[in-house]
Chains A and B, each alone.
Chain A
Amino acid sequence: MYREEFILWSIIALVLLAIPVGALYTAFNGKYLDGVYLDDRGVKTIYIYGWTQEDGGWDPSEIVVKAGEKVRLVIRSMDMAHGLQIPDLGIDTGVIKPGYEYVIEVTFDKPGEYTFYCSVYCSPLHYKMMGKIIVLPG
């Protein structure tokens, strides 16, 4: 093999290797994991996607936080109008149109489990749109 070709092969192999390795590194070094992202201020940002197609539901449907920890919830409707309600905390985003998001910063004071629902009758799969936030002792 020509030397230039060997160098080209090596560069392409490195780039092809770097793409999944870099993505996995980003995913697992704490910047992002299971829908959780640390923003520039170090605030834990949790993206919650709602959609009804197929099995539907919230992604993630189970969120774990620590009591006293400030978190930023970003709730996005992916396919049609949804809303997110946490009755025990008096949180209700109202209608979130598809493609839009609702952002709320909240601090969970008491440990426990808080169930959240879709607050808009979105489809026959509406009843599946449930999840829970598990608040661990701080």
Chain B
Amino acid sequence: MASVSGIKSFFGRLMSMDLLSIPVVRRLVMHRAFQWAVMVPNLIIFWFLITAGFIGSPVGNMNISITFVWMLWWFALIAILVPFFGRAWCTICPLPALGEWLQRGSMVRKPDAWRPRGLNRRWPRRLNNIWLQNIGFLVLASFSALLVTRPIVTAIVLAGLILVATIVMLVYSKRAFCRYLCPVGGFIGLFSNFSSIELRVKDGELCKNHIDKECIRGSDTSFGCPWYEYPGSLVRNAYCGLCFECVKACPFNNIRLNLRGFGRDLIVSRGKGFDEAWKVFIMLALAGVYIVTMQGPWGWIRDLANVFYKPPYGFALAGIDGYLIYLGLVWGSTLLIIPGLFYIFSIASKYLSKTDASASELFKTFSYMLVPLTLMAWIAFSIPILQVNWAYIVNTLSDPFGWGWNLFGTRDIHWSPILPSLIPYEQVAVILVGVFYSIKVGYEMAREKFMEDRALLGYSPYLIFTFLAAIFFIWLFMG
């Protein structure tokens, strides 16, 4: 028994640990060159991937731009970085690097008497939400069949994102691109609310009473938060890009970087909005669409997703006709059908709970309980990408352009999936983890939102919705 309580207390201490209390970690993030040093190698790697996409082999699995971006990076992002490290990708993301350096007129140092370069305009108040990110993500999703298989499309999109980020950051202040436009940032922000790490202040009162607010305005050693956040009121991970400028700025050493349990931010009411709620449904519906399209046995649906597909026989749906059906499926399911279904469940919840809150309010609040299930559905979708196709990553490491090189002697390792028969069981296990956390988060919300004697009744429609979604995914994986 003593050892069990010892283990419990160890994990308790671990899960509330301030990583910035580790001297080496603190020294690292306090150094002005920290973010630069992690961005530059990444920028060079992505530049190489873009080059390979433009001039390497047009065959996807022979080109490092496809294997590294859509197999390795994607898996690492969705299955490791986001759930365990929140927006850590934004710390090292190379897309805004050039824009930020030009905007600051500096890569590392905070110059004396510093003023931002460029037009430094305020981001329009009306666009102060993630709707543009939602639309941007749906646009990319609309031609994802080409994006993830054709190196040149991947290269154009990556180069385009760097160009847009650079232009936006020269027109608008700070990281407007990352906060309001980046199609990847939208879902990273949403899912990072689930993650097991958080950047918060140690003493909120200290921040409130401190007038200078260097964490926002900057100091001699810091540019201040480029994400338009005030660390003193940070209660969710959604828009903290983990750049650590606030850590560098704070004269009181009042910032901590905590380990914590999963899903904590999802029950926080402040900051929730319909833009984020729709993001949940976009991600949930797209997980289903992608699993059906890319991993399902229905070849004809896959063909619909390919705008350039020309069927060998006249009777099949071809090219633009079929593609329009696919577009209807992507945009309709994400923006209308799934949110519409959830709204019906919210009306049922309002009726059963007899709460004063409107169905729309319940819709917005409880949509966040689907975040764990949605994230796990994406992880489940990503498992076979790596487990089946790992050999292509190793091959292209030696022959990045598909030109017959064999730099590290790994070009000829044969395609051989690792235990493919286990994949459906792994996927189901991951979905069940998502169900567990969704139910847990939803239960917390129900206790807060409904009267005690009506909480379970009011919660029951959302439980049913969660189970139906989980059963659908399990059917896709096992069926």
Give the complex CA separation of A1 and B404 in angstroms: 44
Contacts of A16 in B (CB 8 A): 43-44, 47
Contact (Cβ within 8 A) A24 B312: no
- A54: which of B43, B309, B391, B403 is its contact (CB, 8 Å)? B309
Give the contacts of A47-95 with B (CB-CB under 8 A): 47, 49, 51, 53-55, 59, 74, 78
Instruction: Indicate if B261 sits at the interface (CB-CB under 8 A).
Output: no
| B residues at A contact (CB < 8 Å) | 40, 43-44, 47-48, 51-52, 54-59, 61-62, 101, 105-109, 111, 149, 306, 308-313, 391, 401-404, 412, 414-416
Contact (Cβ within 8 A) A78 B59: yes
- A99: which of B40, B109, B391 is its contact (CB, 8 Å)? B391
> Lowest 7 A-B CB distances belong to which pairs?
A99-B415, A124-B312, A37-B404, A32-B403, A20-B51, A19-B51, A49-B59
Given contacts A19-B44, A23-B51, A49-B59, contact A2 B109 (CB under 8 A): yes
A-B contact count (CB 8 A): 78
Instruction: Indicate if A8 sits at the interface (CB-CB under 8 A).
Output: yes
- B57: which of A9, A26, A49, A127 is its contact (CB, 8 Å)? A49
Which residue on A lies nearest to B150, using beta carbons? A54
Given contacts A5-B108, A5-B109, A74-B404, contact A20 B59 (CB under 8 A): no
Contacts of B47 in A (CB 8 A): 16, 19
Give the complex CA separation of A22 and B165 in angstroms: 26
Instruction: Indicate if A121 sits at the interface (CB-CB under 8 A).
Output: no
Contacts of A138 in B (CB 8 A): none
Give the complex CA separation of A27 and B404 in angstroms: 11
Instruction: Indicate if A98 sits at the interface (CB-CB under 8 A).
Output: yes
Which residue on A lies nearest to B48, using beta carbons? A19
- A23: which of B58, B101, B401, B404 is its contact (CB, 8 Å)? B401
Contacts of A37 in B (CB 8 A): 403-404
Contact (Cβ within 8 A) A24 B404: no
Give the complex CA separation of A19 and B40 in angstroms: 14
Contacts of A19 in B (CB 8 A): 44, 47-48, 51
A–B Cβ pairs within 8 angstroms, 8 of them: A2-B111, A16-B44, A19-B51, A47-B403, A47-B404, A49-B57, A49-B62, A54-B308
Main secondary structure of the interface of A (DSSP, over half): mixed
Which residue on B lies nearest to A38, using beta carbons? B404
Contacts of B51 in A (CB 8 A): 19-20, 23
Contacts of A1 in B (CB 8 A): 105-106
Contact (Cβ within 8 A) A53 B404: no
Give the complex CA separation of A24 and B51 in angstroms: 9
Instruction: Indicate if A104 sits at the interface (CB-CB under 8 A).
Output: no
Contacts of B43 in A (CB 8 A): 12, 16
Give the complex CA separation of A55 and B54 in angstroms: 20
Give the complex CA separation of A98 and B414 in angstroms: 9
- For A, the interface residue count at a CB cutoff of 8 angstroms equals 35
Contact (Cβ within 8 A) B52 A23: yes
Give the complex CA separation of A125 and B111 in angstroms: 61
Give the complex CA separation of A4 and B33 in angstroms: 12
Give the complex CA separation of A67 and B439 in angstroms: 72
List 7 extra interface pairs beyond A2-B106, A12-B44, A20-B55, CB under 8 A. A5-B108, A12-B40, A19-B44, A27-B55, A55-B310, A98-B415, A127-B312
Contacts of B101 in A (CB 8 A): 9
Contacts of A49 in B (CB 8 A): 57, 59, 62, 402
- B403: which of A2, A12, A27, A99 is its contact (CB, 8 Å)? A27
Main secondary structure of the interface of B (DSSP, over half): loop
Instruction: Indicate if A119 sits at the interface (CB-CB under 8 A).
Output: no
Give the complex CA separation of A49 and B61 in angstroms: 11
Instruction: Indicate if A15 sits at the interface (CB-CB under 8 A).
Output: yes
Which residue on A lies nearest to B56, using beta carbons? A23
Contact (Cβ within 8 A) A23 B55: yes
Give the complex CA separation of A14 and B308 in angstroms: 38
Q: How far is the CB of B446 from chain A (nearest CB, A)?
A: 47
Give the complex CA separation of A32 and B403 in angstroms: 7
Contacts of B401 in A (CB 8 A): 23, 27, 32
Contact (Cβ within 8 A) B55 A24: yes
Give the complex CA separation of A114 and B312 in angstroms: 25
Which residue on A lies nearest to B391, using beta carbons? A99
Which residue on B lies nearest to A78, using beta carbons? B59
Contact (Cβ within 8 A) B404 A32: yes
Q: How far is the CB of B58 from chain A (nearest CB, A)?
A: 7
Contact (Cβ within 8 A) B414 A100: yes
Give the complex CA separation of A62 and B367 in angstroms: 55
Q: How far is the CB of B152 from chain A (nearest CB, A)?
A: 13
Contacts of B54 in A (CB 8 A): 20
Contact (Cβ within 8 A) B312 A125: yes
Contacts of B313 in A (CB 8 A): 124
Given contacts A49-B57, A53-B149, contact A5 B106 (CB under 8 A): yes
Give the complex CA separation of A45 and B405 in angstroms: 12
Q: How far is the CB of A64 from chain B (nearest CB, A)?
A: 18
Residue-wise, chain A 99-138 has the 8 Å CB interface mask toward B (1 for contact) of 1110000000000000000000000110110000000000
Contacts of A98 in B (CB 8 A): 415
Which residue on A lies nearest to B313, using beta carbons? A124
Contacts of B105 in A (CB 8 A): 1
Which residue on B lies nearest to A126, using beta carbons? B312
Q: How far is the CB of B341 from chain A (nearest CB, A)?
A: 34
Contacts of B58 in A (CB 8 A): 59
Contact (Cβ within 8 A) B62 A78: yes
- B59: which of A23, A59, A124, A128 is its contact (CB, 8 Å)? A59
Give the complex CA separation of A9 and B313 in angstroms: 56
